[in-house]
Every structure is written in structure tokens, then in C-alpha cells.
Amino acid sequence: MHSRILNYLDEVVRTGSIRQAAERLHVSASAISRQIIALEEDLGTPIFNRTARTLVLTAAGEVLIRHIRDTLKDMARTQALIDSLKGLRRGEVTLCFMSGLAASLIPGAVSLFLKKNPRVTIKLQLMTTGEEILEAVASGAADLGVGFDFATQPGLIHLSHSIARLGAVMAPDHPLAERSTLRIAECMDYPLILADGTTAIRPYLDRVLSKAPPSLTTCVETNAIETMRSLAMSGHFITFLTLFDIDSERQQKRLVYIPVQEFTQKPQSLMLVGKEKGMSAMASVFAESLKVALLRTTETG
């Protein structure tokens, strides 16, 4: 229904009179009356019981007015958000995220956002675990959180969800770099850099590597994704990361990502979370920018 008739009906119900509603809305009584009659014809049922002194809602009218008032409230909230976005000039958004994204996906997304919104301040907080991120967003210490495999938590909403499969990551001149896919056994002939037991990656590695042959040669174990990337770029090492972990390095052709068949069954989930209610207009705009970055990385994989 058109917003005008919604306001007409709401005011008629409040005043109990078409004439009084018309006076308050500064329109003619006949205009309101025509709109009501037309709506009743469309619905196939009366909205009002008409008496000599007042208008009383029918049962159908009661149902309709509840819908109308809910719609008007939603319209008001939406208009307020749109108005705030139109006037978006300056403000602050806090984003917390896991370490693997610190030197890759997040900086690129932030840079693009700030080109369009140069007076906005983005606060970036590096956190170790998903639990820390969820707690920061739930408590209001952060507006948004990005990380892997977040648990469901009351009061928070998953704004974006992307599949993040581990793959073999290596330098472009590595002997296996031209392959389209690999088996884990083929990686065993080369020195490996593995995420250690404190990382979100490790459980996924363990499921696959527990079935690996004894010839597995681990040269380095670390909880620093940055170190894994740097070592992979420096020589004939192989490490196992997701596309999101090496976004900028892939674009710069400093690292290549090759799917590994054994990692396809139980992938990680990269999630963007925020508060279910009360998110600022600025945070909402930044969240949309992050969603685009996540989608772009997924599609270019």
C-alpha cells in the first residue's frame, strides 16, 4: 500500500473521524474517504463499522491497522538509516579480526572503504581466538568481527558467510606451482610450514595429516600466518592456508594457491559478525564493504 493511505488510516483510527483526521493531515475529508472506500473494495471487506458519531474498526480492520502501524514504524526506522547514510561524513568503526587476515584481506578492504569515506576512523584490533572476537562485539568493544568458524551467540548475527578451504600455498617458481590440484601425498616431498596447535587452522590440518605417510617433513610450526606466508615466498616450502589468508599476495603474484583434494570435505567458514540490534549506520556501511571484499576473494579463487 502507498504510504499516504497508511498515514490516512492510522490517523482516522486515532481520531475516530475522517473529518478530524483530514484537519490534522491538512487534506480534504473526501480524499481520505475515497482512499478508504477504494481499499475496502480491493480487500473485499469493510475496514470500519460506520455509526452516526464515529468510525469503529471491524475485525478485518483491527488486523489491518496492526500491519499498518508495524509498517509505518519500519518505514520510519529505514528512513532514519537512509538519512544518516546520506549525511555520512565522519565517525568511527571498530573491527576485530584473526591474525591470518591482518596483512591480506582486511587492509585492502579498509583502504577501499576509506577512499570513499576519508573522514571515518577505522580502529583495527587483532585477536587470537574467535571467542575473543565474539566477546568484543557482544560487549560493544567492537562493532564488527571477522574470523573463522564462529559459534552462534545470542544477540549477534552472522552478516556474511564464506567457504574457506585450505589449499597448498607456495611461491610461483615452486615445482608444483603449475598444478591445478594436488593430493596431500604429493606435498610430502617438500619441506612444510604448518600452523601450530593454537591456531584455528590446525584441527583441519590434523584431520588430513593424521592419515599422511610417515615421510611427512615439517620444517617449521608457527602460530604466525605472516611467517608462514614469508617462508613460502622465500623458497621451496609449502604451507597450507586459505584464499583469504593470502589475498594480497595472490593479487601481486607472490604466492599461488592450489586446491588439495583432501581438504575439500570439511572446509572452514569465514564469517563477519555484528550486533543483531543497534548497529550504527557507519558500521552497516563498512560491513557492506567487507561483504564485497569477501565475495570478491571467494569468486576469484
Given a cut of 90, is residue 149 above it in pLDDT? no
Q: Is 193:255 a contact under the CB 8 Å cutoff?
A: no
pTM confidence score = 0.63
End-to-end CA distance of the chain: 44
What local confidence, expressed as pLDDT, does residue 44 receive?
A: 93
**106 CB-near residues (< 8 Å, 6+ apart):** 95, 97, 124, 146
53 and 96 assigned to the same domain: no
Residue 232: give its domain's CATH number. Answer: 3.40.190.290
Domain span at 118: 92-159+273-299
99 and 155 assigned to the same domain: yes
Given a cut of 80, is residue 215 above it in pLDDT? no
Given a cut of 90, is residue 134 above it in pLDDT? yes
What local confidence, expressed as pLDDT, does residue 167 receive?
A: 94
Residue 38: give its domain's CATH number. Answer: 1.10.10.10
197 and 257 assigned to the same domain: yes
pLDDT, greater one: 299 or 150:
150
Number of domains in the chain: 3
Q: What number is the average pLDDT over the span 91-114?
A: 82
- 268 domain-assigned: no
Q: Is 226:103 a contact under the CB 8 Å cutoff?
A: yes
What local confidence, expressed as pLDDT, does residue 105 receive?
A: 78
154 and 282 assigned to the same domain: yes
What's the chain's average pLDDT? 86
70 and 21 assigned to the same domain: yes
At 216-267, the pLDDT tens digits run: 667 889 988 889 999 999 878 999 998 888 888 888 999 999 999 988 877 8
At 276-298, the pLDDT tens digits run: 887 888 888 899 889 888 887 76
Tally the C-alpha atoms within 13 A of residue 7's C-alpha that lie toward its C-beta. 11
Given a cut of 80, is residue 35 above it in pLDDT? yes
| Main-chain dihedrals φ then ψ at residue 243, nearest 5 degrees | -60, -35
